[in-house]
Amino acid sequence: KAGVTQTPRYLIKTRGQQVTLSCSPISGHRSVSWYQQTPGQGLQFLFEYFSETQRNKGNFPGRFSGRQFSNSRSEMNVSTLELGDSALYLCASSLGAGYQETQYFGPGTRLLVL
Amino acid sequence: SQKIEQNSEALNIQEGKTATLTCNYTNYSPAYLQWYRQDPGRGPVFLLLIRENEKEKRKERLKVTFDTTLKQSLFHITASQPADSATYLCALEKNTGFQKLVFGTGTRLLVSP
């Protein structure tokens, strides 16, 4: 089975622009979560989607949004980019959205905001 | 406030020794705890999960303990190898209705030959 894929792998944007990142989960997985990873803050939870519905959201401003499609693929969007948004954005998928679900992470998209 | 602490300093050990990494948490009552490994430029990879009613879990050279009284988990790698060099993350899930993993900042392990 193919793993979680994320596109693009690397991205350079300037302040004020917006960006859309894409995540394809493992086939059959219906839950997708997004995380932001920075050296100072570590892995921070952004949001989780299951069956096209956002089930949980982390403590990030409204500039960060996401969605999930009927085939479980997910996108996240960051509008009005700020320098502090530079980070590794990780997507993780799991079979369901219950307890004790193992999360399978993609390789991440490294975003640099200039 | 809720906090998960892992040793921010890198842990340097010699090949063949046992590496012990610590994960402490405050103001959480996690249903279970997971450990992940992350290599540079890659996403974390799941290693082990331990439930709140389990004291210890083993998988090959890995051992995890979970002390809900001390609010601490220990992660051991026995007979360590240079290939074990990576950052190790612990993650808690709160006992709520929604899945949400909260990660520690990770501890970098360096195993020298």
pLDDT tens digits for range A65-108: 999 999 999 999 999 999 999 999 999 999 877 667 788 999 99
Phi/psi class of residue A73: alpha, beta or left (left: φ > 0; alpha: ψ in -120 to 50)?
beta
Which residues of chain B make contact with A43, given a CB cutoff of 8 A?
44, 89, 91, 103
Which residues of chain A make contact with B91, given a CB cutoff of 8 A?
43
Highest mean pLDDT (candidates A48-52, A100-104, B35-39): B35-39
Determine whether the interchain pair B101/A56 forms a contact, defined as Cβ–Cβ distance below 8 Å: no
B24 min Cα distance to partner chain A (Å): 15
Q: For residue B76, count CB atoms less than 10 angstroms from its CB and return exposed for 0-12, middle for 13-18, buried for 19 or more.
A: middle
d(CA A56, CA A73): 17
Residue B96 pLDDT: 60
Determine whether the interchain pair A102/B46 forms a contact, defined as Cβ–Cβ distance below 8 Å: yes
Mean pLDDT of A41-63: 91
Q: Are A32 and A92 in contact (CB under 8 A)?
A: yes
Mean pLDDT of chain B: 90
Determine whether the interchain pair B44/A105 forms a contact, defined as Cβ–Cβ distance below 8 Å: yes
Residue A96 pLDDT: 79
Which residues of chain A make contact with B99, given a CB cutoff of 8 A?
31, 33, 48, 55-56, 94, 97-99, 101
Q: Are A37 and A46 in contact (CB under 8 A)?
A: no
A75 min Cα distance to partner chain B (Å): 17
Split at pLDDT 50, 70, 90, the class of A2 is confident
Residue in chain B closest to A94 (alpha carbons) equals: B99
| DSSP, res A18 | -
Cα angle, residue A80 at apex, residues A76 and A85 outer, rounded to 5°: 65
* Optimal mutation site among B101, B102, B105, B108, interface A, most CBs of chain A within 10 A: B101
Structure tokens at B77: 């790698």
- Pair type for strands A10-13 and A109-113: parallel
d(CA B71, CA A86): 33
Q: pLDDT digits over B67-101, tens only?
A: 989 999 999 999 999 999 999 999 987 656 555 78
